[in-house]
């Protein structure tokens, strides 16, 4: 079997030679990595942290602060945890690819050159 | 600072793929295409590769134990109210996690291999292919390319080397015998029409072969002539459908067949073999021949006599192969034995270094003699 | 507060032996 990889969404990006230089890509995507399991509720609750955007229900779980001068990052998770991390340049850029099961098509939607990485033990919030 | 959300139900159809500098170049080229492929049909589950027009990368899944969240910036419908900002400036953007991944696909450049399962061998018989084509699962070159874990360029290059052909659109491999006949007929016809071996055009060559041929019983179709030219020639640059005959390759082909015919059951003195070899060519064929051209196809059981030996009959285990080779011939010239063991040098060592791992090398005069340890 | 949002930290990072990818797993 074989399937073409569409790069339609990437075209303008590739032609202008723009690529990610900070926390999010020019197309608005971000890659966040935590050394651990991030537990987040999967069910709707009547709580201000739960919102709907278009057809998607979501829960607000954290706050991210980037110190662009030093590439440091701070992540507040829930109400009780604080993680220290950094903006890391990827050794090999990562293509974001969607495999559409319904119509059997494949699309490369973006390229990540950086990720925000948290590998230290979470600190309590004082 | 940024508000981070996650969708309550995330999308499992996203993957992360390592983009090497070469792959990034392919992406940037607007004329290029990339395809995910696997050998066989959908149910077979062969290994997935990624192909550009001329290169193949094997996908290797690397699992990990971290949480990786893929997020997209969005503008919330309502302003998010926060109970606390932890002393940071008010958040100015919102990101929503839409997928999580627990692995990445690494990409390793490999040599693509054409998939010849279900491609039949055609020996020139006039009732090929069968009328309904039902027994032929590979019905076109497009089918063949789609079912090979291989880029188009690598596929076609291997196809040409193997004597691949199409008969009424159905891919097939021409048998060794049929290909030899096609080559012989092509050479004779080309010489009869005084065609230039360095510029053999398909149309002229086909016309030359088909001159005075009864079309109903003629297996030398245009595709068969093309296959013959692809296998024994090199395409002339910037000239479609024109080939320069590879005279050395043609001479070797005849030589291997001559070894099979005259030196299989018993060995033959080299001088006598050269005469026999020459006699197999079409009359007046201008090919130079030397025994050394056939290294990898003969051994010398006694003294200088030659006897046919095919790699296909040798053990695939390297130690056993050397054992067999020394049983057939106790001492070898380095240059004579190397072609018989090269294919097992999978780590790409220098050939003499490789041979020395399994055999003894002695200098005798100007030559190196290889014998068993 | 039944809404649990937190990180369960892992001491190490393990990345497994690489393995080839099957066609069906691209779509699952």
Average pLDDT, chain B: 92
| ipTM of the complex model | 0.97
**B54-63, B204-213, B262-271: which range is least confident on average?**
B204-213
N- to C-terminal Cα separation, chain C: 35
A45 Cα to chain B: minimum distance (Å): 11
| Alpha-carbon span B362 to B339, nearest angstrom | 19
Query: In DSSP terms, which residues pair with C20 in a beta bridge?
Result: B60
Residue B134 pLDDT: 66
What are the φ and ψ backbone dihedral angles of B206, each rounded to 5 degrees? -60, -45
* pLDDT at A16 exceeding the cut of 80: no
B26: region left, alpha or beta (phi > 0 left; psi from -120 to 50 alpha): alpha
CA separation, residue B360 to residues B304, B332, B352 (Å): 21, 10, 10
Query: CA–CA separation, B144 vs B164, rounded Å?
Result: 11
Q: In this complex, do C23 and B63 lie within 8 Å of one another by their Cβ atoms? A: no
The minimum CA-CA distance between A116 and chain B, rounded to whole Å, is 10
Q: What is the pLDDT at residue B65?
A: 94
A8: nearest CA partner in chain B: B30
Residue B187 has pLDDT above 80, yes or no: yes
Chain A positions in Cβ-Cβ contact with residue B9 (cut-off 8 Å): 42, 57
Poorest-pLDDT segment among B173-177, B223-227, B238-242, B285-289? B238-242
Chain A contact probe: residue of C1, C4, C6, C26 with most A CBs at under 10 A: C6
What is the model's pLDDT at position A11? Answer: 82
Q: Please check whether residue B290 is in contact with residue B296, taking contact to mean a CB–CB distance below 8 angstroms.
A: no
SS3 letters for chain A?
CEEEEECHHHHHHHHCCCCCCCCCCCCCEEEEEECEEEECCCCCCCCCCEEEECCEEEEEEEEEEEECCCCEEEEEECCCEEEEEEEEEEEEEEEEEEEECCCCEEEEEEEEEEEEEECCCCEECC
Domain residue limits, chain B: 2-110, 121-247, 281-372
**Using the beta-carbon criterion (under 8 Å), do B66 and C20 form an inter-chain contact?**
no
Chain B hits for A44, CB-CB cut-off 8 Å, are: 8
Q: Write down the domain spans for chain A.
A: 5-33+61-124
- Average pLDDT value for chain A: 93
Q: Do A94 and B19 touch (CB under 8 A)?
A: yes
Query: What's the CA gap between A45 and C8, in Å, rounded?
Result: 22
pLDDT of residue B338: 95
The rounded percent of chain B whose pLDDT value lies above 70 is: 97
pLDDT at B8 over 70: yes
- Taking only the tens place, the pLDDT of each residue in B320-372 is 999 999 999 999 999 999 999 999 998 889 998 999 999 999 988 888 899 99
C22 contact residues in B (CB cutoff 8 A): 38, 45-48
Residue B303: how many other CB atoms lie within 10 Å: 7
- Find chain A residues with C-beta within 8 A of B71's C-beta: 29-32
High-pLDDT (> 90) share of chain B, %: 79
Confidence of residue B83 (pLDDT cuts 50, 70, 90): low
Q: What is the dihedral sign for C-alpha A16, A19, A21, A25?
A: positive
In this complex, the chains that touch C, judged by 3 or more CB pairs closer than 8 A, are A, B
Alpha-carbon distance values, B164 to A48, B158, B220, B223 (Å):
67, 8, 14, 10
Residue B91 is predicted with a pLDDT of 85
Mean pLDDT of B173-186: 95
Which chains reach chain B with 3 or more Cβ–Cβ distances below 8 angstroms? A, C
Taking residues B31-45, what's their average pLDDT?
Answer: 85
- Min CA distance, B48 vs chain A (Å)? 9
Query: Confidence band (pLDDT; 50, 70, 90) for B217?
Result: confident
CB–CB of C4 and A49 under 8 A?
no
- Looking up tokens 């790409």, which residue turns up? B348
B188-197, B214-223, B251-260, B318-327: least confidently modelled range: B214-223
Higher pLDDT, B133 or A97: A97
Is the torsion defined by CA of B141, B142, B148, B149 positive or negative?
A: positive
Q: A7-10 long-range contacts, Cβ below 8 Å, gap at least 24?
A: A7/A107, A7/A108, A7/B27, A7/B34, A8/A107, A9/A107, A9/A108, A9/A109, A9/A110, A10/A108, A10/A109, A10/A110, A10/A111, A10/B27
Q: Provide mean pLDDT across the span B178-200.
A: 95
Q: Which residues on chain A are in Cβ contact (under 8 Å) with B66?
A: 33-36
Q: Is the pLDDT at C1 greater than 60, yes or no?
A: no
Q: How confident is the model at residue B272 (pLDDT cuts 50, 70, 90)?
A: very high
Q: Which of A23, A38, A76 sits opposite B67 (nearest CB)?
A: A38
Which uninterrupted H or E stretch holds B159?
helix B152-161
Q: Rounded CA gap, C23 and C27, in Å?
A: 8
pLDDT at B238 (0 to 100): 85
CB B133 within 8 A of CB B83: no
Reported as a single tens digit per residue, the pLDDT across B118-162 is 899 999 988 887 766 667 889 999 999 999 999 999 999 999 999
Burial label, A87 (beta-carbon count in 10 A; 0-12, 13-18, 19+): middle
Nearest to A95 among B19, B69, B146 (CB): B19
Q: Give residue A109's pLDDT.
A: 96
Assign B3 a pLDDT band (cuts: 50, 70, 90): very high
> What pLDDT is recorded for position B133?
60
């Amino acid at each position: 079997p074989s399937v073409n990889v569409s790069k339609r969404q990437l075209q303008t990006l590739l032609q202008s030679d723009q690529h990610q230089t900070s926390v999010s890509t020019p197309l608005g995507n971000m890659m966040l990595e935590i050394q651990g399991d991030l537990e987040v509720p999967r069910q709707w609750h009547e709580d201000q942290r739960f919102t709907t955007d278009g057809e998607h229900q979501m829960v607000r779980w954290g706050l991210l602060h980037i110190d662009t001068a030093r590439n440091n990052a701070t992540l507040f998770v829930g109400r009780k945890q604080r993680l220290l991390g950094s903006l890391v340049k990827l050794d090999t850029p990562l293509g974001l690819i969607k495999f559409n099961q319904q119509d059997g098509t494949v699309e490369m939607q973006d390229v990540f050159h950086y990720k925000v990485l948290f590998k230290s033990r979470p600190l309590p919030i004082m | 600072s940024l508000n981070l959300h996650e969708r309550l139900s995330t999308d499992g159809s996203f993957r992360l793929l390592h983009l090497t500098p070469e792959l990034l170049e392919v992406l940037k080229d607007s004329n290029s295409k990339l395809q995910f492929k696997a050998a066989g049909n959908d149910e077979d589950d062969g290994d997935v590769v990624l192909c550009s027009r001329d290169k193949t990368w094997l996908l290797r899944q690397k699992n990990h134990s971290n949480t990786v969240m893929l997020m997209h910036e969005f503008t919330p419908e309502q302003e998010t109210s926060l109970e606390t900002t932890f002393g940071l400036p008010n958040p100015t953007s919102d990101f929503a996690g839409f997928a999580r991944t627990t692995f990445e696909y690494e990409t390793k450049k490999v040599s693509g291999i054409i998939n010849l399962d279900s491609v039949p061998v055609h020996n020139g018989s006039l009732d090929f292919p069968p009328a309904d084509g039902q027994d032929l699962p590979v019905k076109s070159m497009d089918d063949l390319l789609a079912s090979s874990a291989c880029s188009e360029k690598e596929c076609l290059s291997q196809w040409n080397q193997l004597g691949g052909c199409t008969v009424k659109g159905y891919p097939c491999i021409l048998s060794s015998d049929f290909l030899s006949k096609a080559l012989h007929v092509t050479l004779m016809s080309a010489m009869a029409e005084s065609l230039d071996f360095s510029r053999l055009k398909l149309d002229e060559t086909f016309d030359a072969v088909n001159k005075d041929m009864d079309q109903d019983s003629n297996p030398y179709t245009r595709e068969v002539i093309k296959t013959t030219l692809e296998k024994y020639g090199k395409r002339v640059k910037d000239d479609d459908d024109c080939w320069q005959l590879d005279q050395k390759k043609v001479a070797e082909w005849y030589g291997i067949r001559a070894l099979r015919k005259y030196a299989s059951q018993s060995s033959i003195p080299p001088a006598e073999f050269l005469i026999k070899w020459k006699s197999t060519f079409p009359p007046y064929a201008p090919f130079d021949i030397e025994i050394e051209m056939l290294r990898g196809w003969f051994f010398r059981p006694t003294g200088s006599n030659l006897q046919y030996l095919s790699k296909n009959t040798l053990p695939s285990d390297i130690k056993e192969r050397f054992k067999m080779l020394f049983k057939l011939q106790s001492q070898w010239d380095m240059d004579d034995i190397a072609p018989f063991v090269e294919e097992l040098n999978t780590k790409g060592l220098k050939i003499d270094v490789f041979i020395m791992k399994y055999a003894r090398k002695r200098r005798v005069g100007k030559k190196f003699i290889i014998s068993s340890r | 507060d039944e809404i649990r949002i937190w990180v369960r930290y892992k001491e190490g990072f393990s990345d497994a032996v690489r393995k080839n990818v099957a066609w069906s797993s691209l779509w699952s």
